[in-house]
Chain A
Amino acid sequence: MATEILMPALSPTMEEGTLAKWLVKEGDTVSSGDILAEIETDKATMEFEAVDEGTIGKILVAEGTEGVKVNSPIAVLLEEGEDASAVEDAAPAGGGGDEAKPAADEPRGKAPEKAPARVAEEEPTPKSKASPDWPEGTEMVTQTVREALRDAMSEEMRRDESVFIMGEEVAEYNGAYKITQGMLDEFGARRVIDTPITEHGFAGIGVGAAFGGLRPIVEFMTFNFAMQAIDQIINSAAKTLYMSGGQMGAPMVFRGPNGAAARVGAQHSQDYAAWYASIPGLKVVMPYSASDAKGLMKTAIRDPNPVIFLENEILYGKSFEVPKLDDFTVPFGKARIWREGSDVTIVSWGIGMTYALEAAGKLAADGIEAEVIDLRTLRPCDYETVLASVMKTNRCVLVEEGFPVASFSDHMASTIMQRAFDYLDAPVVTCTGKDVPMPYAANLEKLALVTTDEVVEAVRSVTYK
């Protein structure tokens, strides 16, 4: 059967082109790979090669023709033994050929269908999801965040053979910040793996191992160095599940200290919470207390998605009560109310909680009762608990150490504005790190960080007290 040679699409954006020149004439025999014509696209002049072999039976579009639509027939190719009479059977130029391929000619401007709503209509009155994380009367032990993280990882590694940890200095050095203390001894070098300083490489290897069915924990010595690896985190880990139509993803944890430590300067002090929280496909956890660090780390390791687990060097040494339970986990997407109050809602997470709680204490001394909410996870985020609280207090102050522009606080403020506008008695105020790279000098570093006094001030400004 004679086949039509169609106008090729030679660039991702090409819809039509100019048939600049034929390099074959009717009656020529061609084989696959021979150059048939030169075609001008919107970007360049391209050579167009034959795919099949045969004889050029008829040229349907003369050279020099402009505006030839992609997928319209430009010539007819005869198979061996066929003669020109077969051409009559083929569709004539500009005839039915176009109809045969209607999709290609469909104008792009046609109104797209509306994206379906992601979830059913939001509940009109949000209800707080906050609830106790352990039964009353549970025995408690005092632990640092550091110990809690190590215990969580070790427990999960005992439980699941496919979990392993890798990163710089995690094994023999016991962790640059001693989070993996003792883990090499317990689990051996097969599962506690020192890497060279090659973040982009080992992050990618971690993602690949997750594709391959393992549950990697990738430690970044600090999240500042994860910028070397961010392509693998975003383009590979976060997007593969979607790109593969749900076939495969990267169940893994990227963890390490995030944000400012003390006096370590501009390249070692950034808070990346807002960056990662903006990526669909990632889950983002940023615990404050030791019990949350533990319960959320265990949940993170079991989660079937890539989880960004943002720790904080200053919190590592801080002690908290942790429930003594065999298998203690904290679910994602459930905020914790640290303090109830009716005058204002203070929302924070991670190290920001330090300022939030300190400010609440100071304010209480002046008779202002703040409700303090720890989001704990930014993705998923417990909007309901925040909204329910704001509807009660009618005021909200958000606290974080990150940069102010496009911060997570901005996102939350906008959510509150959209969903609880009528309840607000004052603008939502954000207290963030300053809009500057972190300075080294002690006095400037203090100024660059968010302070408790700024939070107190913000609360006063929204409570008019």
Chain B
Amino acid sequence: MAARKTTAKAKPNVSAEELLGYYKDMLLIRRFEEKAGQLYGMGLIGGFCHLYIGQEAVVVGLEAAAKPGDKRITSYRDHGHMLACGMDPKGVMAELTGREGGYSKGKGGSMHMFSKEKDFYGGHGIVAAQVPLGAGLAFSDKYKGNDNVTFIYFGDGAANQGQVYETYNMAEIWDLPAIFVIENNQYAMGTSTKRSTRSPSYWERGAAYGIEGEEVDGMDVLAVKDAGDRAVAYCRAGKGPYILEIKTYRYRGHSMSDPAKYRTRDEVQKMREERDAIEMIRQLLLTGDHATEDDLKAVDKEVKDIVNESAEFAKESPEPALEELWTDIYADEVPQETA
């Protein structure tokens, strides 16, 4: 077991273009989520809505390590993953409002969206259910003999579910090209990791199954990208699964209805002020003379426009036709006769 722990800061030997790309992608997620929060407040989005604000560097860094054909699957906290893998913000937002133009025609909602085209396999509401599903996707690629990998995202809370460990074992004995991405944002709803485990270094649990892994600073998109590159190279080479435990933080409540009394405002403020991933890249861009304030303003505007457009689309798109109630239940569209 040769797992290692990365603490070294990634060197900014990255191009201005690349940095600007990360900046824009992360900003898009943040602004999109802020807008979603507003639309929720206006009653345009209903049910559960879990925002990704604070965790943007995780998906943006890992998507930078992916190639076409790679797959991804995650939980209900999925908006960021969809935007990062190139899904259309309009279609995502319209799904949030439950409209015809949404990725699931309005039938899935915030927690359940999918895109075959972008190899995004959801959007799952049952904590940790996506973990074996993701390993199944990896199995399918291995079976077909290609070199695709699957990113399987799950939370620190999910990491305690039994099916995760059943999956680890099989993924390792079958050398599945699966990257287990534990988004450790330190809380599962109101339960801090301190209260849910005495083995808080989640990636190390892989050792029990012979799986390699590492811990990654999830507030540093460059470190995430680096770790992603290592994981991907390992998996693509046919060496089996790899675990990335990405230390991150969610700024908002668990969902829109969470009063978040289990942590102090100071704790959140401190993260936002000292560790914010977007701010870090912004500073790198400015101090490294990669971009001017004006350049960044232009990006901000561009992002804002995309988000506003998606919100407009999500409001304008009609509700699904009533007949949609009865479609998509069976693949062959033969509904079961009931009464």
Binding site for B on A (CB under 8 A): 168-169, 172-173, 176, 194, 196-198, 200-201, 224-225, 227-228, 261-268, 404-405, 430, 434-437, 439-444, 447-448
Contact = CB atoms under 8 A, between A and B. Distances in A.
A8 to B, nearest CB: 34
B243 to A, nearest CB: 19
Given A169-B189, A194-B191, A444 B157 contact: no
A430 B338 CA distance: 11
B222 to A, nearest CB: 31
Contacts of B197: 196
B47 A447 contact: no
A265 B112 contact: yes
Given A198-B162, A264-B47, A268-B48, A440 B335 contact: no
Interface stretch (B101-109, B207-215, B267-275): B101-109
Nearest to A443: B319
Given A198-B160, A441-B319, A169 B190 contact: yes
Interface string B34-66: 000000000000111000000000000000000
Contact of A436 (B157, B161, B326): B326
B296 interface: no
Interface string B304-339: 000000000000000110101110010000011011
Contact of B112 (A224, A404, A440): A440
B188 A197 contact: yes
A437 B338 CA distance: 14
Contact of A263 (B98, B105, B195, B329): B98
20 contacts: A169-B190, A172-B191, A196-B196, A197-B127, A198-B160, A261-B47, A263-B109, A265-B108, A265-B125, A267-B111, A267-B112, A440-B46, A440-B47, A440-B106, A440-B108, A441-B106, A441-B319, A442-B319, A443-B98, A443-B320
Interface in B120-151: 124-128
Contacts of A168: 189, 191
A441 B320 contact: yes
Contacts of B319: 441-444
Interface of B: 46-48, 95, 98-99, 104-112, 124-128, 157-158, 160-162, 188-191, 195-197, 261-262, 319-320, 322, 324-326, 329, 335-336, 338-339
Contacts of A437: 329
Given A198-B162, A268-B47, A430-B339, 20 more contacts: A169-B190, A173-B261, A173-B262, A196-B157, A196-B160, A196-B196, A196-B197, A198-B160, A267-B124, A267-B125, A435-B335, A436-B326, A439-B106, A439-B320, A439-B324, A439-B325, A440-B46, A440-B112, A441-B107, A442-B319
Contacts of A198: 160-162
Given A168-B189, A197-B188, A440-B107, A224 B126 contact: yes
Contacts of A404: 338-339
A442 B46 CA distance: 8
B125 A434 contact: no
B125 A169 contact: no
B202 to A, nearest CB: 12
A197 B161 contact: yes
A196 B128 CA distance: 12
Contacts of B46: 262-263, 440, 442
B112 A444 contact: no
Nearest to A176: B189
A197 B109 contact: no
Nearest to B259: A173
A165 B164 CA distance: 26
Task: Sort A-B residue pairs by CB-CB distance and give the 8 closest, nearest first.
Answer: A440-B109, A263-B46, A263-B47, A267-B125, A441-B106, A441-B98, A173-B190, A196-B160
A169 B188 CA distance: 9
B190 A172 contact: yes
Binding site of A, secondary structure by majority: helix, strand, loop or mixed?
loop
A262 B257 CA distance: 13
Contact of A447 (B126, B325, B338): B325
B162 A201 contact: yes
A200 B125 CA distance: 17
A261 B109 CA distance: 14
Contacts of A448: 325
Nearest to B48: A264
Contacts of B104: 440
Contacts of B160: 196-198
A66 to B, nearest CB: 40
Name the residue among A172, A434, A440 with the largest chain B CB count within 10 angstroms.
A440
A173 B189 contact: yes
Nearest to A221: B189
A447 B104 CA distance: 18
B238 to A, nearest CB: 33
Nearest to A430: B339
Contacts of B125: 224, 265-268
A168 B55 CA distance: 24
Contacts of A440: 46-47, 95, 98, 104, 106-110, 112
A436 B128 contact: no
A434 B325 contact: yes
A196 B127 CA distance: 11
A323 to B, nearest CB: 32
Contacts of A201: 162
Contacts of B105: 441
B98 A436 contact: no
Nearest to B108: A440
The residue among B46, B109, B197, B339 with the most chain A CB atoms within 10 A of its own CB is B109
